[in-house]
Amino acid sequence: MEVEKIRNLNPQELAEQQREATEQLFRLKFQMKMGQTGGLKKMRELRKDLARIKTIARERELGLTQSVPGAAVAEPVPTAKTAKPANAARSASEKKTARKKAATEKK
């Protein structure tokens, strides 16, 4: 399943998709143990889909992404970790100049 499709699901549909993926994965594991199928590729895809679903659900829970109706991709919400401090916008050369100036003022 594509990430855009998962992001456009509402919380109830997301929970349903997670439940279905978990069930399918269980059945596939059981069949592989019994020697009934060799669907290793399908199993890998299911694990990845389940991880994507859980990741998006957790992002929503933490408020890291904000769903926008009609948008293909949700916009990330800036957090304290991702927000840049005011002095981060300065270039490296400006920072170096400021350090030199501060050092000469101390003397």
What one-letter code names the amino acid at 40? Answer: L
The C-alpha torsion from 83 through 88 and 90 to 92, rounded to 10°, is -140
3-78 domain in CATH 1.10.287.310?
A: yes
Domain extents for the chain?
A: 3-78
* Confidence band, pLDDT 50/70/90 cuts, at residue 81: low
Count of C-beta atoms within a 10 Å radius of residue 56:
21
Residue 83 in this model has a pLDDT that exceeds 80: no
Return mean pLDDT, the chain: 80
pTM, two decimals, is 0.59
| pLDDT in the model for residue 97 | 82
Residue 12 in this model has a pLDDT that exceeds 90: yes
